[in-house]
Amino acid sequence: MYVFYDFETLKNCFLASFKEKVTGKFYDFVIWKEKNDLLAFVEFLKQVQGEIGYNCVKFDAQVQQWIINNVNRLILLTPDEITSEIHRYASHVVELSNARKFLDFPEWKLYIPQCDPFLISHFDGLAKSTSLKWLQFGMNWKDLVEMNVDHNIGISTEEELKDLIYYCHNDVDSTEEYYKYIKGQVEHSEYKGKDQIALRKDVGLTLGKSIINWNDIKIGEQLNLINYIKLTGQTKEEIYHNKREAYKQLIYLKNVIPPYIKFKTDILNSLLDRIKQTSINIGNDEFKESVTIGITKHNLGLGGLHSEDQPRKIVITDNQILRDADVGSQYPSAIAKRNLFPAHLDQIWCDQAKKLIKKRIELKPLAKTDKVAASLVEAYKLALNGGLFGKLGEITSWQYDMEKMFSVTIGCQLEILMLIEELELNNITVVSSNTDGILSLFDKQKEQKYIEICKEWEIKTNSTEYGKLEFADYKSIIQTSVNDYLVIKKDGTLKYKGDFVIDNLLHKNKSRRIVPLALKAYYVDNIKLEKFIKEHKDIFDFCCCVRADSTMSLHILRDMKYIKQQKTCRYYIANTKDVLLKRMKPNPNKKVKNQLDIFGGIDDGTRENQIEAGYNIQIFNKYFELDNYNINYNYYISKTQNIIDKITTFNIQEKVL
């Protein structure tokens, strides 16, 4: 039996809820007052072959294993004593997790194998930290209910127990729904057909171990480590011991510039001279430079090249070409073609990157029909990006070498600038640059020259095998910045980024999805803004979400009364009387105490800000169906119109560098 599951560990109540994966049947085990399902719970676990839970490896499975190990002692206690013991241990687990310390039970010590979507998605990392409630918002889950009981106090009535079971079932059901996303069994464009579980099973067979709960970056890094150990005969310990060779506090950028970087113009040669004279103190210094070439300003940094693009719409005429040129697998290719490798490693590390690139290219055509090939292609991608280049800048990684990371990032930016310079010298306008590519606008009569320049650039930068340019022609691009745009390609397909993205990854904020939908309708389908928004029927696309942290709480202000809300609130802008407020703790520096507030009450210094200033809202944590949701359409029309008003038609003024 395989189950989805979740535990609640209150001081006076323990609840374990399981949902059988095949039948959907729920099994609940409760320890509270006179009810003691401890033995039944342990007996049930003997039937379970695997468990799927959100953040289960670092919490639920820890508590479960502790109960299994201590069941002979626990069974002698009263229900209150048992729940108190479980609560104490659960609090201990939370403390260890919050401190990022080792837990008592690593996965190999767990009685039942775990599948944890939280770990698979890397939501345990600080950059992507995501709660199940936030995922529920992203999935348009019908009930974003939060438990309104203090874990340190517990429950006191049967009604509260029913609420607790409902809450737990809701979390189990939504965990099952998110599992469909990581299995690729949804229509969402970012997840459809991408089976993360199958990938981990296939790669696990290659590695000879279970890696179900590894995140993408860990898979890539470990693939590289295992292969490197096999090829060199070194041990993991030897590699980490030698890593001290890669530590450099001060990096001189003259040492990271490829020898083939050559410029023709004074402005770029001056830039190159400045970079050669620059040193970076790791952890303290930043690297920022900028250069204007033709009509476009390009900014350089340690991460990548970006142009400063104003809000605009570029639409080609019959005699123009708007062409995007991207460097294929830019960073791994830079490593391969320049034979870069960390100081404590050797050429084998770079050779392995070359092999992975070639294998990925060979298997790509098969990936459309062969699932194993598709998994391997994805695995090689992980090994090359997050697992290879991405780890050069991570001090805890066996591949750490900041000088080599700068060699890649700064070298690639200078390469792109070489291409931009040559195009501009030939009166081909580069209207945008973004890390691994450029966007050019030119007359059709210059196409052959454009092609020649690109081929010459590939030769000059040693990119004929690794890092070849890949092209796509656009009909138009609508953008508010370099990272926020809607592209209509020549073949009619669309490309979205930033503010224009319709289907966000679930850990990102999809609030006001109606806005990018309306922008797409306006620019692509020629539908009037007001018509589209007022006729749109999906209430979830009008919803927003806000989260309160430990420094604040959320409140509805209604008829001069504050009504406290749950920590994660879903709402939409409506023609109501309700105002949503973020209330923060009293200002300790407030000088005047006990003033009367605007309602005649005592002002204790609590600070508050209105969310959606100037507008009223309708809380929508729990889905309800109406013919008329009383939506304030003017708010959404105004939000979208404000974006459109910023966007002006781009008129090219050709200018030779």
Per residue in 532-546, pLDDT (tens digit) is 999 999 999 999 999
Which contiguous run of DSSP H or E holds residue 64? helix 61-74
End-to-end CA distance of the chain: 69
Residue with tokens 């070298």: 411
| Token pair of 40 as six digits | 């039944």
DSSP one-letter code for 96: H
pLDDT at 589: 63
Read off the pLDDT of residues 261-306 as tens digits, 9 standing for 90 and up.
999 999 999 999 999 999 999 888 888 999 999 999 999 998 889 9
Q: Give the burial class of 609: count Cβ atoms within 10 A of its Cβ; 0-12 exposed, 13-18 middle, 19 or more buried.
A: exposed
Residue with tokens 């560990």: 9
477 versus 435: the higher-pLDDT residue is 477
pLDDT at 588: 63
pLDDT at 366: 80
158 versus 358: the higher-pLDDT residue is 158
127 CB-near residues (< 8 Å, 6+ apart): none
371 versus 460: the higher-pLDDT residue is 460
pLDDT for residue 371 is more than 80 = no
pLDDT at 38: 97
pTM of the full structure: 0.90
Average pLDDT for residues 337-359, to the nearest whole number?
Answer: 90
124 CB-near residues (< 8 Å, 6+ apart): 55, 58, 118, 215
Residues 200-208: contacts with CB within 8 Å, 24+ apart?
A: 200/120, 202/372, 202/375, 202/376, 202/379, 203/375, 203/376, 203/379, 206/379
Give me the domains of the chain, ranges plus CATH numbers. 2-183 (3.30.420), 201-246+344-400 (no CATH), 250-332+404-523 (3.90.1600.10)
Q: How confident is the model at residue 657 (pLDDT cuts 50, 70, 90)?
A: very low
Q: What angle do CA 266, 268, 270 make, to 5 degrees?
A: 65
pLDDT at 219: 86
Average pLDDT for residues 93-110, to the nearest whole number?
Answer: 92
pLDDT for residue 147 is more than 90 = no
pLDDT for residue 353 is more than 90 = no
Percent of the chain with pLDDT over 90: 74
Tell me the pLDDT of the chain averaged across its residues: 91
Average pLDDT for residues 307-329, to the nearest whole number?
Answer: 94
pLDDT for residue 109 is more than 70 = yes
Average pLDDT for residues 504-528, to the nearest whole number?
Answer: 96
pLDDT at 655: 44
Partners of 114 in beta bridges: 51
Average pLDDT for residues 35-46, to the nearest whole number?
Answer: 96
Whole-number Å distance between alpha carbons of 12 and 150: 11
- Strand intervals (E) in 145-267: 250-252
pLDDT at 604: 59
Read off the pLDDT of residues 189-227 as tens digits, 9 standing for 90 and up.
989 888 899 888 888 887 788 899 999 888 888 888 888
Average pLDDT for residues 648-655, to the nearest whole number?
Answer: 66
pLDDT at 484: 94
**CA distances (Å), 624 to each of 175, 556, 559, 621, in order?**
22, 19, 23, 9
* Chain centroid to CA 248: 30
pLDDT at 216: 87
pLDDT for residue 355 is more than 70 = yes
**CA distances (Å), 456 to each of 90, 318, 426, 428, 442, in order?**
63, 28, 13, 15, 18
Q: Where are the alpha helices (DSSP H) in 322-463?
A: 330-337, 347-363, 371-384, 402-425, 447-460
Q: Where are the alpha helices (DSSP H) in 184-256?
A: 196-207, 216-232, 236-242
pLDDT for residue 550 is more than 90 = no
Q: Give the DSSP letter string of 516-584.
A: HHHHHHHHTS---HHHHHHH---GGGG-EEEE--TTEEEEEEETTEEEE--SEEEEEEBSSS-EEEEEE
Read off the pLDDT of residues 57-91 as tens digits, 9 standing for 90 and up.
999 999 999 999 999 999 999 999 999 999 999 99
Q: How confident is the model at residue 360 (pLDDT cuts 50, 70, 90)?
A: confident
Q: How confident is the model at residue 587 (pLDDT cuts 50, 70, 90)?
A: low
pLDDT for residue 400 is more than 80 = yes
Q: How confident is the model at residue 578 (pLDDT cuts 50, 70, 90)?
A: very high
Q: How confident is the model at residue 143 (pLDDT cuts 50, 70, 90)?
A: very high
pLDDT for residue 630 is more than 80 = yes
Whole-number Å distance between alpha carbons of 485 and 498: 7
Q: What angle do CA 462, 467, 468 make, to 5 degrees?
A: 90
Percent of the chain with pLDDT over 70: 96
Nearest Cα residue to 349 out of 462, 246, 229:
229
pLDDT for residue 172 is more than 60 = yes
